[in-house]
């Protein structure tokens, strides 16, 4: 849970956008446990068009591809030669099942809330604050620097408002997922609202999270048209619809929990 949420928030800060032409960005990514330590580094490439977005990770060899037109995301594992796909509707159905179970009392959000608190602290909406934090020069150009505090997690972001993305940010799925508990919904709605106030594309971002520092820095930006082949799935890889599988398992688990809860109430 901790790794999943921290990774989502690190990536989320690289998806601010407005309407633009195709965009290819190459990032250097470094993770450090201590400020003076030598961090682990890798390169990520991000491709954006009006229909697709794709991030290639040269370290894990796991790429993420989203088809925004068909509302489906793919995780492409080049080591295992597998593709896991998840349709947005299946994710939405899972969230609705969990939220309904929490509200009706036959599911508990305690473990989920504890995981959130371990990462961000016992935060409220008042603990999510965005401020202008001076300026910094990147590639001989002075840019505004922002500081976004989300409880214990701190973002330092330098963005270029003259650069925009091919499609608007779509944080609805992320916010719904992290806000599936009524106790966390307002927090993540506030996070999204504050984050969207930062204009442009981040050129450099430093995230302080759970004792680690993760730094994203742009190496190159290219707005040339991206060939459709960049977004093609490997034809020889095994494809698994994990969204459907998880939804079916969750439906079965929720039904069992409902029946168990009804038996307890009759006693």
Per-residue pLDDT reduced to its tens digit, 61-112: 999 999 999 999 999 999 999 999 999 889 888 888 888 888 888 888 888 8
**Edge-to-edge strand ranges of the sheet holding 40-48:** 128-138, 141-150, 153-160, 201-209, 212-222, 23-32, 40-48, 52-57, 62-67, 72-77, 82-87, 238-241
Residue 45 binned pLDDT confidence (cut-offs 50, 70, 90): very high
Domain ranges, residue 179? 2-266
- CA nearest neighbour of 214 among 1, 2, 13, 59: 13
Q: How many whole angstroms separate alpha carbon 175 and alpha carbon 189? A: 6
Per-residue pLDDT reduced to its tens digit, 180-235: 677 787 888 888 889 888 888 889 999 999 989 999 999 999 999 999 999 999 99
Return the CATH number at 152: 2.50.20.10
Q: How many whole angstroms separate alpha carbon 92 and alpha carbon 73? A: 13
CB 78 within 8 A of CB 61: yes
Residues 6+ apart with CB under 8 A from 134: 145
Residue 12 binned pLDDT confidence (cut-offs 50, 70, 90): very low
For position 4, what pLDDT does the model report?
A: 39
Token duo for residue 121: 């602290």
| Domain count within the chain | 1
- CA nearest neighbour of 132 among 104, 109, 161, 108: 161
Number of H helices, E strands in the chain: 6, 12
Residue 11 binned pLDDT confidence (cut-offs 50, 70, 90): very low
Q: Tell me, letter by letter, the H, E, C secondary structure of 46-114.
A: EEECCCEEEEEECCCCEEEEEECCCCEEEEEECCCCEEEEEEHHHHHHHHHHHHHHHHHCCCCCHHHHH
Rounded percentage of the chain residues whose pLDDT exceeds 90: 44
How many Cα atoms sit within 13 Å of 44 on the Cβ side? 21
């Amino acid at each position: 849970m901790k790794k999943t949420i921290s990774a989502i928030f690190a990536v989320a800060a690289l998806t601010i956008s407005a309407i633009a032409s195709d965009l290819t960005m190459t990032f250097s990514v470094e993770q450090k446990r201590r400020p003076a330590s030598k961090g682990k580094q890798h390169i990520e490439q991000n491709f954006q068009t009006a229909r697709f977005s794709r991030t290639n990770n040269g370290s894990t060899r796991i790429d993420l591809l989203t088809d925004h037109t068909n509302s489906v995301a793919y995780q492409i594992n080049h080591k295992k030669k597998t593709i896991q796909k998840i349709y947005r509707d299946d994710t939405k159905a899972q969230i609705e099942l969990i939220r309904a179970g929490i509200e009706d009392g036959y599911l508990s959000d305690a473990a989920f809330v504890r995981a959130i608190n371990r990462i961000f602290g016992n935060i409220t909406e008042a603990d999510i604050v965005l401020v202008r934090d001076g300026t910094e020069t990147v590639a001989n150009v002075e840019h505004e620097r922002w500081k976004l505090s989300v409880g214990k997690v701190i973002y330092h972001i330098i963005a270029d408002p003259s650069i925009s993305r091919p499609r608007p940010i779509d944080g609805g799925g992320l916010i719904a997922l992290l806000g599936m508990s009524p106790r966390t919904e307002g927090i993540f709605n506030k996070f999204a609202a504050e984050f969207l106030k930062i204009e442009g594309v981040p050129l450099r971002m430093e995230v302080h999270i759970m004792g680690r520092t993760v730094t994203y820095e742009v190496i190159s930006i290219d707005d040339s048209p991206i060939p459709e082949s960049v977004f093609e799935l490997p034809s020889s890889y095994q494809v698994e619809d994990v969204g459907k599988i998880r939804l079916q398992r969750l439906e079965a688990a929720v039904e069992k929990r409902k029946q168990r809860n009804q038996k307890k109430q009759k006693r």
